[in-house]
């Protein structure tokens, strides 16, 4: 039986970066794995021209099976299932062993249930383990935002949900601003949906790859809101994002002391811990463990700490 627990490996929750790589660009696809993104997302949808849909699908099919991507968390953004390409994309990607399928323009939980049904058929057909393909939804409309909780909970295969800002602002009849005021409600809704469902939340792409300052301001905002990470369009954004999400050495040192104090209190059979006169309770311990996990993912060096 497929359960949420079997689908969600904790590593996926620690992902920060998901790099879009156009499925029609052979040169980008052949090198994308070197940039250190937590997940590589081959795109068959809007980055691919209509006349290249079939050749891009074939290239992604081969890339997914290439040894260079064996150790990478691969995601494929397929075309929506109500287009002439969606079902062929899905079949090729599941057969080739994509770890996660990203459904763009997800408006309702039924979209995910239909996807799940199709994925299961292909898994059975090609002899892949049923339940081995994970799903994620991109929310790109007002309907998607309003239905975000049901979408996030629509299948135990769901591992994450992403806001897609560019299509969303078109549906909202506005435009994308540098400060992102128009995205505030959708960001909060998508994030809350992810937390209700116990899955990861990804923020929108930042398209002006030369505007580093604007990108970093947006990253600070989404980190503060609680997002796990962001969809990216350019390799230069990967280290910037990872660095911004990495705890400082002081934050890490404090988290380690908190966890060490909590573990000592547990060994000593004490319910309440005091650290420098401050009470350390369960949420503070959870936050400290999260900081340590982020530090590990970011490669921040740990030192032995004792209570
Ligand atoms: C942005 C730009 C044109 C900048 O070009 P530039 O030329 O300035 O890039 P440079 O930095 O100079 O490149 C230096 C070296 O990196 C290589 N390189 C660049 N990008 C790479 C990459 N992505 N992967 C691997 N390699 C890469 C490049 O080949 C070069 O390699 P080399 O020649 O060997 O040195 C370029 O990055 C790019 O095309 N990005 C992908 C765009 C894309 O996928 N759009 C669709 C997804 S959004 C969407 O659909 C909206 C959405 O749906 C989103 C949602 O759903 O969330 C919604 O509604 O909001
Ligand atoms: Mg879009």
Q: How far apart are CA 64 and CA 74, in angstroms?
A: 7
Is residue 5 scored above 50 in pLDDT?
A: no
Would you tell me how many other CB atoms lie within 10 Å of the CB of residue 159?
24
Orientation of helix 212-225 relative to helix 237-245, angle to 10°? 40
Output the residue whose Cα is nearest ligand 1's atom 57: 164
Give 51-68 as a 3 state SS string: HHHHHHHHHHHHHHHCHH
| pLDDT computed for residue 14 by the predictor | 67
Per mean pLDDT, which range of 21-25, 39-43, 170-174, 275-279 is the poorest? Answer: 275-279
Q: Which residues contact 248 (CB under 8 A, 6 or more apart)?
A: none
Mean pLDDT score of the chain: 92
pLDDT band at 145 (very low <50, low <70, confident <90, very high): very high
Q: Give percent of the chain above pLDDT 90.
A: 78
Is residue 102 scored above 70 in pLDDT?
A: yes
The β-bridge relationship of strands 278-280 and 273-275 is: antiparallel
- DSSP-assigned letter for residue 229: E
| pLDDT computed for residue 269 by the predictor | 85
Q: Ligand 2 centroid to 260 CA: how many Å? A: 45
Mutate to test the pocket of ligand 1, among 212, 235, 238 (most ligand atoms within 8 A of CB): 235
**Quick one: which ligand is closest to 162's CA?**
1
Is residue 248 scored above 50 in pLDDT?
A: yes
| pLDDT computed for residue 297 by the predictor | 79
Closest by CA to 22, choosing from 49, 62, 54, 51, is: 49
Q: Ligand 2 centroid to 204 CA: how many Å? A: 10
Mutate to test the pocket of ligand 1, among 165, 234, 238 (most ligand atoms within 8 A of CB): 234
pLDDT band at 195 (very low <50, low <70, confident <90, very high): very high
Is residue 266 scored above 60 in pLDDT?
A: yes
Bigger pLDDT: 177 vs 279: 177
Is residue 292 scored above 70 in pLDDT?
A: yes
Token pair belonging to 132: 């081995």
Q: Pocket around ligand 1: residues whose beta carbon is below 6 Å from it?
A: 19-22, 27-28, 32, 43, 46-47, 104, 138, 140, 162, 164-167, 204-205, 209, 231, 233-236
| pLDDT computed for residue 298 by the predictor | 79
Q: Ligand 1 centroid to 244 CA: how many Å? A: 20
Q: Could you write out the DSSP letters of every residue in 238-277?
A: HHHHHHHHSPPHHHHHHHHHHHHHHHHHHHTT-S-EEETT
Q: Which residues contact 98 (CB under 8 A, 6 or more apart)?
A: 42, 64, 74, 75, 76, 133
pTM, rounded to two decimals: 0.92
Q: How far apart are CA 120 and CA 86, in angstroms?
A: 15
Q: How far apart are CA 223 and CA 160, in angstroms?
A: 16
Coil, strand or helix: which one is 28?
A: helix
Q: Ligand 1 centroid to 120 CA: how many Å? A: 32
Would you tell me how many other CB atoms lie within 10 Å of the CB of residue 160?
27
Which residues partner with 19 through β-bridges?
Answer: 40, 232
Give 85-107 as a 3 state SS string: CHHHHHHHHHHHCCCEEEECCCC
Is residue 283 scored above 90 in pLDDT?
A: no
Q: Could you write out the DSSP letters of every residue in 154-195?
A: S-TTEEEEEE-HHHHHHHHT----SS-GGGHHHHHHHHHHHH
* Mean pLDDT for the stretch of residues 275-301: 85
pLDDT band at 2 (very low <50, low <70, confident <90, very high): very low
Dump pLDDT digits (tens) for 23-34.
999 999 999 999
Given a contact cutoff of 8 angstroms between Cβ atoms, the answer to whether 91 and 98 are in contact is no
| pLDDT computed for residue 213 by the predictor | 98
Q: How far apart are CA 89 and CA 70, in angstroms?
A: 20
Per mean pLDDT, which range of 113-122, 163-172, 281-290, 296-305 is the poorest? Answer: 296-305
Per mean pLDDT, which range of 125-134, 192-201, 279-288 is the poorest? Answer: 279-288
């Amino acid at each position: 039986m497929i359960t949420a627990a079997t689908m969600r490996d904790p590593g996926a929750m620690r992902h920060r970066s998901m790099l879009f790589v156009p499925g029609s660009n052979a040169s980008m696809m052949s090198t994308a794995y070197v940039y250190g993104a937590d997940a590589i997302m081959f795109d068959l949808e809007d980055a691919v021209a209509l006349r290249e849909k079939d050749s891009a699908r074939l290239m992604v099919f081969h890339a997914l099976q290439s040894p260079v991507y064996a150790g990478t968390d691969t995601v494929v953004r397929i075309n929506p299932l109500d287009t002439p390409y969606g079902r062929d994309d899905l079949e090729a990607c599941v057969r080739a062993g994509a770890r996660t399928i990203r459904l763009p323009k997800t408006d309702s939980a039924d979209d995910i249930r239909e996807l799940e049904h199709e994925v299961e058929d292909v898994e059975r057909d090609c002899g892949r383990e049923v339940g081995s393909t994970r799903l994620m939804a991109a929310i790109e409309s007002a309907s998607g935002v309003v239905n975000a909780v049901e979408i996030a909970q629509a299948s135990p295969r769901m591992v994450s949900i992403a806001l897609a800002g560019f299509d969303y602002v078109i549906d909202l009849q506005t435009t994308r601003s540098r400060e992102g005021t128009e995205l505030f409600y959708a960001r909060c809704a998508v994030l809350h949906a992810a937390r209700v469902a116990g899955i990861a939340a990804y923020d929108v792409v930042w398209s002006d790859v030369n505007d580093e300052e604007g990108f970093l301001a947006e990253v600070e905002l989404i980190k503060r809101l609680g997002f796990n990470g962001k969809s990216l369009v350019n390799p230069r954004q990967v280290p910037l994002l990872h660095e911004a999400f990495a705890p400082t050495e002081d934050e890490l040192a404090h988290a380690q002391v908190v966890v060490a104090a909590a573990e000592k209190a547990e060994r000593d059979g004490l319910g309440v811990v005091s650290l420098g006169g401050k009470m350390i309770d369960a949420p503070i311990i959870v936050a400290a463990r999260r900081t340590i996990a982020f530090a590990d993912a970011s490669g921040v060096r740990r030192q032995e700490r004792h209570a």
